[in-house]
Structure 1
Amino acid sequence: MLCAISDIHGHIHALEEALENVSLSGDNRLVLLGDYTDYGPRSGEVLRSIYGLQQRQGPEKEDVLIILGDAGVNYYLTRSDYDLKQELNDLPITLFLIQGNHEERPEEIDTYEERPWRGGVVYAEPEFPSLLFAKDGEIYDLDVGLYDEEETTV
């Protein structure tokens, strides 16, 4: 079974309710399509919950969790964004963020730098090296586990 969830927008109870109906065993797969956070009241809890799903597999910093849509990381450009980035950067995994429509773009924020990553270029802040933002138009080589031992370009 394939289950797709999207548009949680920081509402942790909506995510919890959706996950109650999903069994993540056997051949079942969960695909999170985006817009997990942003203007909702509990965006940090939503991201922690999503990370908790990954944590069951024993992730490492080399592992990548792809976040599609608004992640709430550069939403307000205030201390709350900074605190969220600090919390997310401390997770033992790399977050690859693909921007939505409601956040400030990293290329417009002077603390971000371009750096090479997996065959493409990403934006990252030196203070938060585990939070990588996709650069529009780039192609990245990601091993997504679709084929045995093969590298897949996404």
Structure 2
Amino acid sequence: MIYVTGDTHGSYRHVRAFAREHSLGPDDVIVCLGDTGFDYFGDERDDAVKTRAARAGVTFLCIRGNRDRNPATLADYRLQPWRGGEAYVDPAYPTLLLARDGSVFDLEGRSAIAIGGAYSVDKRHRLANGHLWFPDEQLTEAEKEHVEQALDRRHWRIDTVLSHTCPAAFVPQEALLPSIDQSTVDTSMEDWLQRIEQRLRYRRWYCGHFHIEKQEGRLRFLHKDIVPL
């Protein structure tokens, strides 16, 4: 079975409970839509998070969130083929797969493209208080081109989109933080995804980032819910 859930931010207790309740194993996949907590600190604290996740006994396919380090920059990760696409894998945690942006995976006969990246609205607060922030949190132009080339090869038809943030037209206004001046927010990722959404023929779209549970047309926001693909 393939399941999808939202941002975990290093908390996997509910995922382990779900896996036990449904008798899931390593052949079952849970897609995490970003902000996994796996490589946030860059020290032994990351290993503790990965160990907690691995104890769920399932295979994770993770989209890169704005609080995730880019695995392409990390020495421990190796890029390897997986179900028609590519994922970064740390050999110490072989069931934790970090999707390469633009990869199209075969998930039980359904094509699914991975599109990570987003802007951190709390960037200024984190920097002012000595917290970590990653300059490459959003996709580069080259990475965006890689995504578009993957869609070109499929004639802009796909079953499922798995992204961290959402197209601009779907941004949930009710979930925006009132303490943030929205005029300071970089929406270039959402604007680009909007152009993708308008051109793409797709059946369903899942995203996280906003920490809400909501269905908006064919797009579903996920946070703590775990749902079948």
1:71 aligns with 2:36: yes
Q: How does 1:1-154 map to 2 (within 5 A)?
A: 32=5, 34-37=6-9, 43-44=10-11, 47-143=12-108, 151-154=109-112
Higher helix content, 1 or 2: 2
Cα gap change, 1:95/1:114 in structure 2, threshold over 3 Å: closer, same or farther? same
Instruction: State the AA in 2 paired with 1:48.
Output: R
The gaps in structure 2 that reach 5 residues or longer are 113-229
Higher RCO (CA-CA < 8 Å; seq separation 6+): 2
Q: Which moved more, 1:125-134 or 1:50-59?
A: 50-59
| Kept after mapping to 1: 8 A contact 2:19/2:58 | no
Aligned residue identity for 1:122: A
Aligned-residue offset at 1:133 = 0.3
Q: Does the aligned pair in 1 maintain the 2:85–2:104 contact within 8 Å? A: yes
Q: Deviations over 1:77-129 (max 9, x none)?
A: 11110111123223311111111012211111010001110011100011110
Distance 2:31 2:8 in 1: 11
- Of residues 89-98 and 129-138 in structure 1, the stretch that sits farther from structure 2 once superposed is 89-98
Equivalent residue for 2:137? none
Tell me the TM-score normalised to structure 2 length. Answer: 0.45
Task: Give structure 1 stretches of 5+ with no counterpart.
Answer: 1-29, 38-42, 144-150
Q: Following TM superposition, where does structure 1 have runs of at least 4 consecutive aligned residues deviating by more than 6 angstroms?
A: none
- Aligned-residue Cα RMSD (Å) equals 1.7
Paired letter, 1:125:
D
Larger radius of gyration: 2
CA contact (8 A) 2:4 2:31 kept: no
Q: 2 CA distance for matches of 1:31 and 1:105?
A: 21
